[in-house]
Amino acid sequence: MKKEYLIYKLSDEVKNTCKIPSEAFQKFGVKRGLRNDDGSGVLVGLTNIGNVVGYQRDAEGKLQACPGQLFYRGYELDDLVSPLLKEKRFGFEEIAYLLLSGRLPDHEELKAFQELINENMPLDHRTIVHIIDLEGSNIMNILSRCVLEMYTFDANPDDISRDNLMRQSIELIARFPTIIAYAFNIYRHTVHGRSLNIRYPRENKTIAENFLYMLKDEDYTELDARMLDLLLIIQAEHGGGNNSTFTVRVTSSTRTDTYSSIAAGIGSLKGPLHGGANIKVINMFHHLKEAIADWKNVEEIDTYLNRMLNKEAYDKTGLVYGIGHAVYTMSDPRAVELKRLAGELAKEKGREKEYEFLKLIEEEGVKCVSAFRKTQKPICANLDFYSGFIYEMIGLPEEIYTPIFAMARIVGWTAHRIEELNFESRRIIRPAYKNIQEQKKYVPMKDR
């Protein structure tokens, strides 16, 4: 039997072995996707880190829509972001300190923390050589492999004491920007024939500033750096139930090493239904700019969006990317913040017309999707709707959109890992799957 045919044969047989009737899930009370029948998430854990509020429950326990809120260690996101915008200062390191420790730092503590981050940003020369050897086009895969390689350079990689976990967390937060910047520069060199620049991170610069410097030299503005800083803050944490953070908590519950757990989180975030969605939105936006002649014509926009929903236009998936969220109903607070940031940046970049067009797509997209789905539940634009547009205005390439998400979310991942490993009553996370396959009698080889 030819090997190619065997692969096809095995694959074809999967069509039957993977069939489970949909009614079986209801019969056995299975919460598919860990979701309740009303769409809310199944409660599987407790945390002191992040809180995602997208709905409320009435006296009868039914879900009621409400404006979205996101809390970091008890502080509402807008209360953390607004002062930074007003004072025009950087804050990602401050938020990282908050998420790791549980409280906001004072001036002296923040200065020492920033110095610690800067000290840990440079990479071991062996890691740099490893990145050069990989020279792959998928920066998320390179990031994951570099994280796993850090295990071999760590004197105490399997130590899960609190002090060691904090050390590892700070090193990961500091080195993600360097790995991503170097990996992209090498990709650009090998794939596009551009000059190869490996810039050493500078002292007394923030993570956002250093990342842009390592990526682009001096080709960025102060507003670019502050916008990236705020993007990192907004994406740093989203509760314990999002797929990648839950992945980190599940793997951490086995007491595996930090690097294996974080690599698993990177693999989860890479998926197009999670961190990879921002690329889907910006590509859709590029298409709509060409497909719609009058960017102010609501009727023309609605007609085209409905064609998309009917799988007649664009990629024919029936989706308007960036519209809708698993938890948020009336609004996604991250999208609200990013919408504000995008407007400020669009003024500097002379892209106000595109910004106004994107806002109109959001407004009409919500209406069209709601009408098409015939749902009473309010839906809203999510984080990804504006993030790609901001990245593009800053001058960042698509290849690192999702890695930047990881650069932000590593803070939340490490905070949740530390919490998972410091519960007073730790238990391995082990849900159940019910087997519905009928028992079979073994048939000897000679009788098959």
User: Quick one: which of 68, 52, 46 has its CA closest to 379?
Assistant: 68
The catalytic position among 224, 332, 384, 416 is 384
Report the SS3 class of residue 378. Answer: coil
Q: How far is CA 85 from the centre of its chain?
A: 23
The catalytic position among 238, 325, 332, 416 is 325
361/383 Cα distance (integer angstroms): 15
Contacts of range 136-142, beta carbons closer than 8 Å, 24 or more positions apart: 136/187, 137/187, 137/191, 137/399, 139/180, 139/183, 139/184, 139/187, 139/399, 139/400, 139/402, 139/403, 140/266, 140/269, 140/270, 140/402, 140/403, 140/406, 141/270, 142/179, 142/183
Under 8 Å CB-to-CB from 257, ≥6 apart: which residues? 151, 157, 158, 160
The catalytic position among 130, 189, 274, 287 is 274
Residue 78 · residue 338 · CB < 8 Å:
no
- φ/ψ bin of 58: left (φ > 0), alpha (ψ from -120 to 50), beta (otherwise): beta
What backbone phi and psi angles, to 5 degrees, belong to 128? -60, -45
User: Quick one: which of 199, 203, 172, 174 has its CA closest to 186?
Assistant: 199
399/139 Cα distance (integer angstroms): 7
214/407 Cα distance (integer angstroms): 14
325 is catalytic: yes
159/124 Cα distance (integer angstroms): 21
Residue 148 · residue 263 · CB < 8 Å:
yes
373/387 Cα distance (integer angstroms): 25
134 burial via Cβ count (<10 Å: 0-12, 13-18, 19+): middle
96/79 Cα distance (integer angstroms): 15
Residue 72 · residue 236 · CB < 8 Å:
yes
384 is catalytic: yes
What backbone phi and psi angles, to 5 degrees, belong to 229? -55, -45
Angle between helices 401-420 and 92-101 (to 10 degrees): 30
Enzyme catalytic residues: 274, 325, 384
